[in-house]
């Protein structure tokens, strides 16, 4: 539904389809999409199935649109899934409602206007040797720990900021981007 609303072609529909509008699935199929339907009672979320399918199809960069799930537990599970070591071989960005999330494993560029908020959150373990440029509160080889608020509510000072780290994974969360 999100892809169709954005005027994008859909090649593959993956999941249990329990929250998909039948008309949207029909439109995707009419446009040539393959459908891989799974039971509602399964061990992976629809997002995990979609990321696996994207990687199997050769994707190396994935932009997730939607995925907040409408429930806090779905949102948290999906956000943490993005940084899972299982997907370390894929560059992942997500647009969850009005927020952009960029998974940083080595280095990433964050775009926005000066003054835009950006939070850096360690996921799945410590993020070691974090360095930033273009942020109000720079980090220079510091460690960010899961559950710490050390990286919360930073701000861009330039249209492009960079974040790099030596080990681990970060979720760079840019709220209120309007989904762009």
Q: What is the pLDDT of residues 92-124, one digit of tens each?
A: 999 988 899 999 999 999 999 999 999 999 999
Could you tell me the pLDDT band of residue 6, with boundaries at 50, 70 and 90? confident
44: Cα separation from own chain's centroid? 17
Q: pLDDT per residue over 150-179, tens digit each?
A: 999 999 999 999 999 999 999 999 998 655
Pairing of strands 160-164, 91-96: unpaired
Residue 180's pLDDT is what? 56
Q: Which range, of 36-50, 56-70, 92-106, averages the lowest pLDDT?
A: 56-70
**Residue 153: how many CB atoms within 10 A of its CB?**
11
Give me the residues paired with residue 94 across strands: 64, 101
The model's pTM: 0.89
How far is Cα 20 from Cα 15, in angstroms, rounded to an integer? Answer: 9
């Amino acid at each position: 539904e999100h892809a169709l609303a954005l005027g994008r072609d859909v090649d593959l529909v993956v999941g249990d389809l329990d929250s998909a509008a039948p008309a949207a699935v029909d439109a995707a199929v009419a446009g040539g999409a393959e459908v891989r339907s799974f039971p509602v009672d399964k061990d992976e979320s629809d997002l995990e199935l979609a990321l696996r399918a994207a990687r199997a199809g050769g994707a190396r960069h994935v932009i997730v649109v939607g995925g907040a799930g409408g429930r806090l537990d779905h949102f948290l599970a999906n956000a943490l899934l993005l940084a899972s070591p299982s997907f370390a071989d894929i560059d992942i960005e997500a647009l969850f409602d009005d927020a952009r999330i960029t998974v940083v494993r080595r280095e990433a560029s964050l775009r926005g206007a000066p003054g835009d908020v950006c939070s850096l959150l360690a996921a799945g373990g410590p993020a070691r040797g974090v360095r930033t440029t273009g942020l109000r509160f720079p980090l220079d080889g510091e460690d960010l720990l899961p559950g710490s608020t050390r990286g919360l509510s930073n701000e861009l000072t330039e249209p492009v900021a960079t974040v790099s780290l030596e080990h681990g994974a970060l979720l760079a969360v840019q709220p209120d981007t309007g989904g762009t």
